[in-house]
Amino acid sequence: MDMNKFAKDLLQQALHLESDITLFDNSTPLLGNLAELDSIGVVNVITLIEEQLGCIIEDDEINAEVFETLGSLVDFIQSKQCS
């Protein structure tokens, strides 16, 4: 599975983004760059990760560093992959 594409698709779906994020790379900032990524947006992204990967994400696992860049979000998603 292409984790960058997976993360971008999650962001598009969870945040209902109208802008094109296909050009985002791992260093692209998310927090402060996407107005839609507010507290509700974070909850929506986390919920989709849980639903699509079949994982439970604990509250203490979520912090601003996870959503700092696309790369940090991809790293987090990779760490949560369940089989």
- What is the CATH classification number for the domain harbouring 20? 1.10.1200.10
Prediction pTM value: 0.92
Give the pLDDT of residue 81: 80
Q: Can you give the residue range of the structural domain that contains 20?
A: 3-79
How many domains does one find in the chain?
1
Question: Which tokens sit at 32?
Answer: 């402060």
Q: Give dist(CA 14, CA 64) in Å, integer.
A: 17
Give the pLDDT of residue 78: 95
Q: Are 16 and 36 in contact (CB under 8 A)?
A: yes
pLDDT digits (tens, 9 = 90+) for 2-60: 999 999 999 999 999 988 898 999 999 999 999 999 999 999 999 999 999 999 999 99
User: How does residue 82 score in pLDDT terms, banded at 50, 70 and 90?
Assistant: low
| DSSP collapsed to 3 states, 20-44 | CCCCCCCCCECCCCCCCCCHHHHHH
Give the pLDDT of residue 27: 98
